[in-house]
A and B are shown apart, each in its own frame.
Chain A
Amino acid sequence: MKKRILIVDDDMDYLFQMRLKVEQMGFETVTAESQAEAEKIIQEFKPDLCILDLMMESDDSGFVLGYKIKKKYPDVPIIIASAVTAETGMTFDFRAEESKRWINADLFLDKGIRTDQLHREIKKLLKL
């Protein structure tokens, strides 16, 4: 069965493009345009992996959503995709145990990531 990936982003164009990329990799996709919509979806649906935008309704929507998904499905890998690093110079070290505990993401990606890199990261997280 195809692996199902939940993509959440409030930029409808980015969402469309990401969805197309992920589908071309051979995955099934479910999309949401907000943290609130995604929270509803995960009540009924368990994805195999999530790709979340960071800033949506609030500046930390991606973190909050990641936290909620991990709480319900601890084994679902989460990728947070954001352009924040490039814009603010803020960096997050996700390998540090301490930040992993509260941020609850398995991977933090820059939004400009190349498709083949993204594909590799997804396969790694899905252990394919």
Chain B
Amino acid sequence: MATFKILIIDDEQGIRDGTRRILQNFKVDYPFMDEQIDFQVMEAGTGTEGIELIDKEQPDILLLDNKLPDIQGVEVLEYVRSKHYDIVVVMITSYASLELAVKATRDGAFDFIPKPFTPQEIRASIENITKQIFLKRMTQTLNSTGKQIRFQFLSVLSHELKAPLNAIDGYLRMIRERQLGNTIESYDEIIDRSMERIKGMRTLILDLLDLTKIESGKPTQKLAIVDVRKIAQLSVDTMRPYAIQKDVDIYLNNREPVMMKADAGEIEIILNNLISNAVKYNKTGGRVDIFIDKLPELIRIAVSDTGIGLSDPDKERIFEDFVRIKSQQTRNISGSGLGLSIVRKIVDMYQGTIEVQSVPEQGTTFTISLSNPD
């Protein structure tokens, strides 16, 4: 069982005794809490005494009378705030003037309890506060877990960056030691492989730059009215040489401009990733179709391919960082494993959704809906 410390600062002995009695055997439970919370009540009769106890005991909750013999309750409140203590403060007042209420709230008072109060009133307030503290602490824990995820990301990233370096290093050593003999042609394949790994690293670095831009937040976002069709055309043109090499045809099935308010760079990242995946994971002679639709308050972009498709469990995983589907069919396809995770992050920024429909061996369609308020 967890115990929260409550400090009551009030010059009336009767109020202190009463509160202690009311809260002595009081317990709070909450569907999300693993355990009940009970309370340890401490008391002080003056503001100075109260501040001493605050420094010494760091209570979780402070019940504070505004009219104290030495200093004002709001001054205690200011002190708590100046020290950045994590204490929830409830003001107990017999006559709360509007002015006082405003000042106290501004200084971080969480609640007011009128004097005289009933046991029920004080219990209700404490219960409410306890839940509030519990949720706040849970959020803090989740945030520090966020840091944990960051650490995992970095260690996977260092693996992804080092693997190609190790491979290239190994090949260079083979060349230096003439391990494949003295004719340069014998080394063609490993030189090609080295260049392939360098290319992969370059892709990874570019994707990381995209990711950093997105994660650094919105300040860099340049919202303007952009033509999604035109951006798609640019993407298609960029991808064309690769598509020709793989004998894949790309069709952009829109002739008219489709305007939306967005950051052109971000829309381009989405389209580049979806179209390049559609080419990359296609079959020889396959096709890629792009459809852009303007719906009420929504822009829908669909990219379909006739490629190798995805299994149901893989559909769930592909939006995670560094996840690449490993199979016999994908073994010669390079990628950073970040593309779709980047797409998902951008789509989230536009309060959008991503849907994946896929049939193994037949193809995959990614449908993205971005909110586009009129």
Contact = CB atoms under 8 A, between A and B. Distances in A.
Given A24-B179, A88-B155, A17 B171 contact: yes
**Main DSSP-derived SS at the B contact region:** helix
Contacts of A4: none
A31 B170 CA distance: 18
Interface in B156-175: 158-159, 162-163, 166-167, 170-171, 174
Interface stretch (A7-15, A98-106, A116-124): A7-15
A13 B174 CA distance: 12
B83 interface: no
Contact of A87 (B159, B174, B190): B159
Nearest to A15: B167
B331 A14 contact: no
Given A13-B197, A20-B174, A20-B179, A87 B158 contact: yes
A109 interface: no
Contacts of B193: 13, 16
Interface string B21-38: 000000000000000000
Interface size class of A (residues with CB under 8 A): 20 to 34
Contact of B170 (A10, A14, A56, A86): A14
Interface in A27-53: 33-34
Interface residues of B, number: 16
A11 B164 CA distance: 9
A19 B140 CA distance: 49
Contacts of B163: 11, 14, 83
B102 to A, nearest CB: 53
B162 A11 contact: no
A10 B326 contact: yes
Interface in B103-159: 155, 158-159
Nearest to B332: A12
Output the residue of B167, B174, B193 with the most chain A CB within 10 A.
Answer: B167
A55 B166 contact: no
A14 B174 contact: no
Interface string B286-314: 00000000000000000000000000000
A56 B326 CA distance: 9
Given A10-B326, A13-B193, A34-B326, A83 B167 contact: no
Contacts of B167: 11, 13-14, 17
Nearest to A88: B155
Contacts of A88: 155
Given A12-B331, A24-B179, A34-B326, A55 B159 contact: yes
Contacts of A16: 190, 193
Nearest to B151: A88
Contact of A83 (B162, B190, B326): B162
Contacts of A17: 167, 170-171, 174
Contacts of B155: 87-88
Contacts of B197: 13
A83 B171 contact: no
Output the residue of A11, A13, A83, A86 with the most chain B CB within 10 A.
Answer: A13
B179 A83 contact: no
A57 interface: yes
Given A24-B179, A55-B159, A87-B155, 5 more contacts: A16-B193, A17-B174, A83-B166, A87-B158, A112-B166
User: Top 9 A-B pairs ranked by shortest CB distance?
Assistant: A13-B167, A17-B170, A87-B158, A88-B155, A87-B159, A13-B193, A11-B163, A87-B155, A14-B167
